[in-house]
Chain A
Amino acid sequence: MAIDQATIDAKSSTAASVDGASASAKKPNGPVIAATLAAAIGSIALGIFTVLAEASTGIHDGLEFSKRVGPLSGKTTLAVLVYIAAWGGLHAAFKKRDLAWKPYLRVSAVLFGLALLFTFPPFFQLFASE
């Protein structure tokens, strides 16, 4: 059973309503899929940087944007930049589109899962350089 959107809109002062039909029109899910997928991409980026820093002394040292914080400064700064860029790009591409939820949410779930794995010490320490 659904609550009538027009009734909700009538009670909400934040709902912009030119006419009843447009206020009740369902929003495309593209922007939400973009936000979720971008978070997943940012997460896996952090995981990848973590593994790379463990595997390569050069990358480890190169990620030391701050001597006080160490390589974590580079890993997290770059991951956040990847996240922002991904969100911007995906939002621009999907903002007016209504997409099938499942494929994108599945990809996001896989990326989140991999990110958790890649940031788990027993895993990334497997790649420790000699």
Chain B
Amino acid sequence: MDLSNREFWALVHGMAFGALFLLAFAGGIAGFWSLRPELITPSGVVERTRRMVTGTMTMAAVAWATVITGSWIVYPWYREKAPTSAKSQLLADPNTANWHDFGMEWKEHAAWLVPLIATAAAFVVFYYREELVNNKTARKLGMALLTGAFAVATIVGLLGALITKNASV
């Protein structure tokens, strides 16, 4: 049950960071949803926003870690010129070429939108904190940004899993 260096970093990128971001979304969106005056006491507002500040900032940091490890550690192995590289294997077979031409080409670019959007969402929470409960527009903006980051992350994560299934690094 040994992991090679490449398998280890592919796991760190996809399962440790990527999956953590996707899972944390559930908590983040629930936090935003529940920050409504009719649902929460003043003590609850303080408790919840503290958790949301930590949670959304962690999500943003994890999103940055995901794309940096992906682009600068795993991706170079993927695109090696050797015929045994994942990219070479995918392109060698017309039945799998689109996993690179469409799948990886989309994933490698769109993924970088996630930390940008997630950082904006975290800033909304960090800046407004407890005021979020009385600021519907800011709350909706935070939810929209977090949901947008999650939607893009889901697509690129799914593409990554399917590409790896066809040709791992």
Let me know if A46 and B113 touch, CB within 8 A: yes
Bound-state CA distance A106–B127 (Å) is 21
Bound-state CA distance A100–B117 (Å) is 21
* Complex interface: stretch among B4-12, B17-25, B134-142, B161-169: B134-142
Q: Which of B38, B50, B108, B137 has the most CB of A within 10 A?
A: B108
- CB-CB contacts below 8 Å: B68-91 with A: 71-72, 75-76, 79
Bound-state CA distance A17–B149 (Å) is 34
Residues of A within 8 A of B45 (CB): 3, 8, 11
Given contacts A3-B133, A125-B101, 6 further A-B pairs with CB under 8 A are A15-B129, A36-B120, A42-B116, A46-B109, A75-B109, A125-B105
Question: B residues engaging A (CB < 8 A)?
Answer: 37-38, 40, 42-43, 45-46, 50, 67, 71-72, 75-76, 79, 101-102, 105-106, 108-110, 112-113, 116-117, 119-120, 123-124, 127-131, 133-135, 137-138, 141, 145, 148, 152
Bound-state CA distance A61–B46 (Å) is 51
Residues of A within 8 A of B116 (CB): 39, 42-43, 83
Q: How many residues of A contact B (CB 8 A)?
A: 48
Bound-state CA distance A7–B130 (Å) is 11
Bound-state CA distance A130–B120 (Å) is 38
Question: A residues engaging B (CB < 8 A)?
Answer: 1-5, 7-12, 14-15, 26-27, 29, 31-32, 35-36, 38-39, 42-43, 46-47, 50, 66, 68-70, 72-73, 75-76, 79-80, 83, 101, 105, 112, 115-116, 119-122, 125
